[in-house]
Structure 1
Amino acid sequence: MRRTRLKHVCLAALLTLGGLGGTGALPAAAAGDTAPASGRAPEITPASAPASAGLLSALRERFGLTEDEAKARLEAEAAATALEPKARRTAGAAYAGSWFDADAGRLTVAVTARASQTARAAIRAQGAEVRVVEHSAQALDAAKSRIDGLSAPPGVASWHVDPTANTVVVTVARDKRADNDVRRFLTQARAAGPVTVDTAAAAPATFAAGTVGGDPYYTGNVRCSIGFSVYGGFVTAGHCGRAGAGVSGWDGSYVGAFQGSSFPDNDYAWVSVGSGWWTVPVVLGWGTVPDQLVRGSAEAPVGASICRSGSTTHWHCGTVLARNETVNYSQGAVHQLTKTSVCAEPGDSGGSFISGDQAQGVTSGGWGNCSGGGETWFQPVNEILNRYGLTLHTY
């Protein structure tokens, strides 16, 4: 689908490589672009609304909810996102992780037996459920860090701390469970701390693609998707281009260049824009749902709903499955990724992940596709902003 160009306030046009509905802010197209034949101005979600009508519709379809249930879920997720750092401070050293419980509609906070009754009561008074577990978040993070120091064979897909299971979960490709190198790695991983082993249908891969039609940005013969606008440019995936590489837009015109890029170890980059291009905190709706403004970057908890936009498969939703996961791509391990149940395909790399109106991260890679399903990881946007000293462009 060819990207539409719409007037927004006094800007001539907007460039979107994201998918349907509201996700990350994207840079504007070259000056002189005109509005489409419809002349439709972008539909913007009011600040007082929990989400655009299109986002609510997408969540209803993805999770089988009524409109009221979708609104209630988004409001509950926003409350859980705001509560999580408060609960962490209250629990102190006894904190063992937290997640959004969609059935209960509230945050669950895990604590060890070290947590006092006063602290537990205070967390409940803040609106969260409390679960007592064996291992603290600090202990689990330390175990994961020790596993990060190991050399993982290709059959090992990823590993992350799972607060719901109170363990480090190591995921292995299903057809590699019996591989001697994989078994040796699992033995070493179990020695690092509490570990359980899970299987995936396939090993993860990045979602870059060769040059094809659609609404991409290009670097050389690689097509990727823009993530979120920052002042001076946009953020995207590091595997899409190296520092200094030039970037062209959907129309072939020069946009700017990669100013910083890291892959593997990380999977983030930022591209400066110029030559008549500029940035706005908007993602267009691809003609299917209203446009969404980006209003911040508060990190959604595990269990929260999340949606992704990209230049290949447009808009898909799912849930946050894990944070701070190490993913073992064929090019090398990438750390501190967030795992989701959202699908993606080649060309979606770098695209926006958003929860409500809060920017979450840029698409890194995954397994599967949007026909049969799969899982996708993203690099958290706040880490990218902090690494390069960037400021997210918000409304």
Structure 2
Amino acid sequence: MRRTRLAHAALAALLVLGGLSAAGTFPASATGSTTEPATSARSAEPAADGIVTAMQRDLGLTRTQAVARLAAEKAAATLAPEARRTAGAAYAGSWFDAPSGRLTVALTQEAPAAARRAIERSGAAVRTAEHSARQLDAAKARIDRLTAPPGVGGWHVDPKAGTVVVEVVRGKRADNDVQRFLSLARRTGPVTVEASAAPRTLAAGTVGGDPYYTGNVRCSIGFSVYGGFVTAGHCGQPGAGVSGWDHSYIGTFQGSSFPDNDYAWVSVGSGWWTVPVVLGWGTVSDQLVRGSAVAPVGSSVCRSGSTSHWHCGTVLALDETVNYSQGAVHQLTKTNACAEPGDSGGSFITGDQAQGVTSGGWGNCSSGGETWFQPINEILGRYGLTLHTY
């Protein structure tokens, strides 16, 4: 690995910003990371200065707004799993509302009054919903068992709308196979249909940059784990050798899954080592990783990749099924941060919390687009890995 870059990452003081904790009656708890609680002293600072700079550029925020949003998102990420446990069967989803800076929790009409009051006292806004999260998740699971034609881009639960959103590729709505799929999907529960672009993975042929290579494919490192790093599954098969930015040997794909999932991990050796750093590419400072608390829908998220480098956006949906040409991939998170070929496998991070590795998307960083990432905690759990944190 590039020694000068690592020295910079390891020694940089990295200006950090004070955070706010969630108010209310819920106890602090970890929200996804098995290695470090999200509310620990080491993760109290929401982000390094570079994250704030990137959010200013990509989300149109002032510095003050970016700092305040990161603090509010951190509080919401801590509050969300506690709100779900408090609501029980009446839970209908939650999301971060950027204008108010608060977590919004949807509850069915059957929610106990005590649970509603407890969630409101915690600082969250409460909305009434017709369908519970359990009902919506069940409807999506039934759609997951269908075979989607190429004209269907994907589907996910939208807690704000209280439905499962099925995305149809623009110009394909009248296709007979699409119509049959939509007819079957509507039988599973509440479904709405939206137009979208066709999703694709973001691997690329061998070009210059700061990537890793397997064969003639260039992808991007996601996050360091003890013993290696995680990345996208479509970038390589188990046993495939991996070389680094300088074409020296790094290690080997130890596990990989694509489609159905889009994750993999690569062992590291031959003089390479792991560090809890996401590269800023000179656009922002290199970022330290302190945990993997899941960011709710509506939160900001930034992405690092070997082609388009640093870009930020917003989490649009969790647990989306994406219908690539190679087959459906499940449990992806949807964002409007842009990406381009070669960014596959790269890092998604909110504040200092790892979120996932780039899977695919549509569009580019000139005209905009949407992307999906495979959540980091699922990858860690699947392979029994431990995230390398600072």
Q: Deviation of residue 285 (structure 1)? A: 2.3
Please give the residue correspondences for 1:1-395 in structure 2 after superposition, counting only pairs within 5 Å: 5-8=4-7, 41-46=11-16, 49-200=45-196, 202-395=197-390
SS in 2 for 1:168: strand
- 3-state SS in 2 of match to 1:280: coil
CA distance change for structure 1 residues 358 and 307 in 2, over 3 Å: closer, same or farther? same
Deviation larger for 57-66 or 323-332: 57-66
Secondary structure in structure 2 of the residue aligned to 1:279: coil
The whole-number CA distance in structure 2 between the counterparts of 1:3 and 1:279 is 12
Do the aligned partners of residues 283 and 4 (structure 1) sit closer, same or farther apart at CA in structure 2, a change above 3 Å counting? Answer: farther
Equivalence for 1:21: none
How many angstroms does 1:41 deviate by? 4.9
Q: Which amino acid aligns with 1:157?
A: G
> Percent identity at matched positions?
74
Q: Which one-letter code corresponds to 1:114 in the other structure? A: E
Contact 2:213/2:244 (<8 A) preserved: yes
The unaligned stretches of length 5 or more in structure 2 are: 17-41
| Kept after mapping to 2: 8 A contact 1:45/1:292 | no
Number of residue pairs aligned between Structure 1 and Structure 2: 364
Classify 1:97/1:321 alpha carbon distance in 2 versus 1 (closer, same or farther; 3 Å): same
Q: How far apart, CA to CA, are the structure 2 residues paired with 1:88 and 1:268?
A: 27
Deviations 1:151-186 (A, max 9, x none): 100000000000000000000011111111001100
- Residues 37-91 of structure 1: CA distance to partner in whole angstroms, max 9, x if unpaired? xxx9535344554322221121122222222111111000000000001100110
Kept in 1, the 8 Å contact 2:93–2:105? The answer is yes
SS of match in other structure, 1:312: coil
| 1:105 maps to amino acid | G
Distance 1:374 1:118 in 2: 42
Distance 1:237 1:171 in 2: 23
What CA distance in whole angstroms lies between the structure 2 residues aligned with 1:271 and 1:3?
18
Q: Distance in 2 between matches of 1:166 and 1:137?
A: 8
The DSSP-based 3-state class of the residue aligned with 1:317 is strand
User: What does the per-residue CA deviation read over 1:110-135, in whole Å, with 9 as the maximum and x for residues that have no partner?
Assistant: 01011011111100001100001100
User: Does the 8 Å contact 1:43/1:291 carry over to 2?
Assistant: no
- Stretch of structure 1 that moved more, 62-71 or 186-195: 62-71
CA distance in 1 between partners of 2:112 and 2:200 (Å): 44
Q: Is the 8 A contact 1:42 1:284 kept in 2?
A: no
The answer (yes or no) to whether the contact 1:140–1:193 under 8 Å persists in 2 is: yes
In structure 2, C-alpha distance between the alignment counterparts of 1:3 and 1:204, rounded to whole Å:
33
Deviation at 1:388, TM superposition (A): 0.2
Letter in 2 for 1:337: L
Structure 2 Cα separation of the partners of residues 241 and 338 of structure 1: 21
Q: What amino acid sits opposite 2:180 in the alignment?
A: R
- In the superposition, the TM-score normalised over structure 2's length comes to 0.91
Any idea what the Cα deviations from partners look like across 1:342-361, whole Å, max 9, x if unmatched? 11100000000000000000
Q: Indicate the SS of the match to 1:346.
A: coil
Q: 1:286-315: per-residue Cα shift (whole Å, max 9, x none)?
A: 222222110000000000000000000000
Equivalent-residue separation in structure 2 for 1:340 and 1:187 (angstroms): 27
SS at match of 1:124: helix
